[in-house]
Amino acid sequence: MAHVELRSVEKKYANDSDAVKGISFSAEQGEFIVLVGPSGCGKSTTLRMIAGLEDTTGGDIFIAGKRVNDLPPKDRDIAMVFQNYALYPHLTVSENIGFPLSIRKEKKEVIEREVKKAAELLSISHLLHRKPKELSGGERQRVAVGRAIVRKPQVFLFDEPLSNLDAALRTEMRAELKSLQRALGTTMIYVTHDQTEAMTMGDKIVVLNQGKIEQFGTPQEIYSKPTSTFVARFLGSPAMNLIRGEIVHENGNSFFISGSFRFHINNSASFPKEVLLGIRPEIFSVAKESNSASDIKGTLTLIERLGSATNYYMDSPLSIDGRLTASTQAASYSDDYKIGKEIIFHISHSELHLFDPETGLRI
């Protein structure tokens, strides 16, 4: 196990474009850290710099307390699993898994022992004599992980390893990788663009946007207290609703007001007048009649039935993007709600968020 630390790490290309802009974070020994963000945010570049596959143009990277900026990949004691698995098609599963040990000139019995242990851990012992072309996507992914395991590195790096799998297999492999990390107790840094993977797998999450860290924390911290509108809308599906309005003070009370929508705000004396109110879709319930100024009326445009939940979408001029979303338990679904008809969203509890409309930062 090893502690990994990045201090003001930068990556600038020859055309002066900044892929990574001075990011700093640390992965404690045995932690599972997920780098997440949209395409082009710098997450894979960051991972490749940790691995030594990309040079840094600024800052420092430490593994187990040692600065590794100038070390080649082979001397960093890391193992990396790629999106395309990078298996040798002419080698068997056993030979692919044992390849790192073969190039180290390890004894045959050592290689066989380590391959067997890795295969048993990954439940692929019955596949050892097959070639990669005879394997499913999930099986190839396990072989790639097995090849990394036999190296016994200080740090595992994963670059979107599940993106080529179907939805059901991705769910299965998420659980398996997390269980594997606990079993090995090794530090893992994992890159994905999938917010569900980030939320379910990471001990901590690094949210990246345009080469910068937007937020670093546990999944619950980031979901419950997003530091910006970017984080608020990127983490969570459906995305957080954002309503532009203003804070008014009346008779010792403070209210958020947007059009006819009015909601009591606690402890808002220091808030700016104009704000963005963030409402997670699950905070809304749906109704056909309004009984409060905090209810929002609109035209129902879409219903998504997902089994465990139902999502309702309404057109609303209150929203910054013209649409509001409510996500309710499946049991609350009713055929009484019709596309094109009026629907009412009611705020069921007060877990709301306020952001500065100019900077997008949490207030």
- Position 267 scores a pLDDT of 62
Task: Determine, yes or no, domain membership for 362.
Answer: no
- Position 303 scores a pLDDT of 93
39 and 66 co-located in one domain: yes
CATH code, 291: 2.40.50.100
246 and 129 co-located in one domain: no
- Mark which of 206, 233, 260 sits at the end of a domain: 233
pLDDT tens track for 36-64: 999 999 999 999 999 999 999 999 999 99
Q: Is the entire prediction scored with pTM above 0.85?
A: yes
152 and 253 co-located in one domain: no
216 and 256 co-located in one domain: no
- Position 187 scores a pLDDT of 94
Q: Which of 174-188, 189-203, 251-265 has the highest mean pLDDT?
A: 189-203
Is the previous residue joined to 89 through a cis bond, with omega within 30 degrees of 0?
no
Q: What is the DSSP string of 239-292?
A: PPEEEEEEEEEETTEEEEEETTEEEEESS-TTS-SEEEEEE-GGGEEEESS--S
- Mark which of 174, 206, 233 sits at the end of a domain: 233
- Closest C-alpha among 94, 329, 19 to residue 11: 19
Mean pLDDT (whole number) for 149-165: 89
- Position 162 scores a pLDDT of 85
Mean pLDDT (whole number) for 138-153: 90
pLDDT tens track for 73-91: 989 999 999 888 889 999 9
Q: Indicate the burial class of 120 (C-beta count within 10 angstroms; 0-12, 13-18, 19 or more).
A: exposed
* Pair of tokens at residue 143: 């072989």
93 and 193 co-located in one domain: yes
Task: Determine, yes or no, domain membership for 178.
Answer: yes
190 and 318 co-located in one domain: no
Half-sphere exposure of 329 (CA within 13 A, CB side): 3
Task: Determine, yes or no, domain membership for 290.
Answer: yes
- Mark which of 204, 233, 262 sits at the end of a domain: 233
CATH code, 137: 3.40.50.300
Please indicate whether residue 334 or residue 245 has the higher confidence score (pLDDT).
245
- Position 122 scores a pLDDT of 87
pLDDT tens track for 253-269: 888 999 888 888 876 55
Task: Determine, yes or no, domain membership for 280.
Answer: yes
- Position 165 scores a pLDDT of 79
89 and 181 co-located in one domain: yes
Task: Determine, yes or no, domain membership for 291.
Answer: yes
- Closest C-alpha among 314, 342, 325 to residue 242: 325
Task: Determine, yes or no, domain membership for 137.
Answer: yes
- Closest C-alpha among 189, 186, 145, 185 to residue 165: 145
146 and 17 co-located in one domain: yes
- Position 1 scores a pLDDT of 63
> At residue 223, does pLDDT exceed 80?
yes
201 and 278 co-located in one domain: no
194 and 311 co-located in one domain: no
183 and 302 co-located in one domain: no
Using the structure block, give the residue that is written with the tokens 């740090």: 155
Lowest mean pLDDT segment, chosen from 11-15, 123-127, 130-134, 308-312: 11-15
The boundaries of the domain holding residue 334 are 239-355
259 and 146 co-located in one domain: no
**Number of domains observed in the structure of the chain:** 2
- Per DSSP, the three-state class of 143 is helix
- Position 250 scores a pLDDT of 84
